[in-house]
Amino acid sequence: MSIYKHVMRDDFYQLHPMLQKRYEIQKGISFTGTGMMARMKGGPKWLFPLFWAGAKFKLLFPEHGENIPFKIVNTSATGRNGEEQIHWERIFYFGSKKRYFNALMSLDSERNIIKDYLGEPHLFYSDLSLHVTADGALKISSKRQRLVQGRLEIPLPTLFQGLATVTEKYVEENDAYSIHVIVRNPLIGILFSYEGEFTADDIS
C-alpha cells in the first residue's frame, strides 16, 4: 500500500481514478510526467539572495515566467530504517538551465501524516496533510515545519514558515493532470507559486 493511500484511508477512493493511479506509488512503482507550467511567480526581489541559495539545495530559485517546460519523477526507495520513501524530483527548464524543487516523503503512521523533507541535502521539514475535494481533486497542505541542519531539526515559529498548498486535479478533456502550488509566509505573502499541466509518460 502506498504511503498516500495509507494516510488517506477510505478517502483515497474518492479521488479521481487517474489520481488514484498516480498516487499508488510504492515499491516497484514509479511515475514520470512532463508538461508546461503556464505561470511561475516568485516572492519580492529582496528575497532573491535566499532563492539563489536555495537553488544549491534543489529547493528554491529566482527564475520565474510563463510557459516553463516541466518534468516530474516520483520513485520509491527504502530508507536506512527500512521505511518506505517517495522521492519527488520536479524539474523546471529555463532555456538550457534546469531548476529543481525536490523532496523526500515518508509516512508517520502514529500521527497519520506524511513527513516531507525538502531540498537536497534536506533544508526544511514539513508535516503534510492530504484531503480530497468535492470534485475528486487532491489538496495537500503543509503544517508544522522545522529547519534542518544535518541531524539537528529546529522548530520554526509560524512567522518564519513557508506554508504550501498544493491542489492537483485530473482534467479529462485534456487527458492531463493540473497542478497549482502556492507557498506563503504569514508576513511576506506569496514566496513561490506555479500552475500548469502535465501528462503521464510512465506509470510502472
Domain harbouring 63, CATH code:
2.40.128
Domain span including residue 9: 3-203
How many angstroms separate the CA atoms of 144 and 121, rounded?
20
Quote the pTM value: 0.93
CA 136 vs. chain centroid, Å, equals: 18
List, in sequence order, the alpha helices (H) in 30-172: 48-56
pLDDT in the model for residue 106: 96
Q: What is the pLDDT of residues 96-152, one digit of tens each?
A: 999 999 999 999 989 999 999 999 999 999 999 999 999 999 999 999 999 999 999
| Helix, strand, coil abundance in the chain, percent, nearest 5 | 20, 55, 25
Domain count, the chain: 1
